[in-house]
Structure 1
Amino acid sequence: MGEVTISSKFQIVIPREVRKQLGLKAGQKLKVVVKGRVISLVPEVPLSEMRGFLKGMDTSGIREDEERL
């Protein structure tokens, strides 16, 4: 797991190995999600890139039939 330091301007640098692993590019936007005392940075993905990403997903057991409208 990488480690970052907050600068005097409250900036952080994402470690190279994390940027490589996630395929992050300069200028790419990240969403900041705070839950309790945990901060998560989630890369924004254009809607066009999400097309078909759930293809082949097993949907059995997600909801009971009586929960469906």
Structure 2
Amino acid sequence: MIEMHKTSLSSDYQVAIPEKLCHQLALGAGQNFTLIAKGNILILVPTPDLAAMRGMMKGANGGNYRDRRIMSHEWTIDN
């Protein structure tokens, strides 16, 4: 379900995120965002803290993840 919230741009060009939305998305003070502009739409995507991601892939098999070598006959201008 999509929820819509209303906010405004301050004279300092800051946008306040409603408290209810911050709680729903577990956002805290100092949270970083990536801004994506498409036409007249602005999307704020929370940027995860790299320290919080540490150990996320624990136990994953890291072997054989090298990019395979593309042979010259596999790639042409038409691809």
Name the count of aligned residue pairs.
52
Superposed counterparts of 1:32-47, under 5 Å: 32-47=35-50
Root-mean-square deviation over aligned CA pairs: 1.8
* Alignment TM-score, normalising by the size of structure 2: 0.58
1:5-62 CA deviation, whole Å, 9 max, x = no partner? 111111110001110110001011011111111001000113416935xxxxxxxxxx
Q: Which structure would you say has the larger RCO, counting Cα contacts within 8 Å and 6 or more residues apart? A: 1
Alignment gaps of 5+ in structure 2: 58-79
* Alignment TM-score, normalising by the size of structure 1: 0.65
Q: Which runs of 4+ in 1 moved over 6 A?
A: none
More helix, by proportion:
1
Aligned equivalents of 1:27, 1:3: Cα separation in 2 = 21
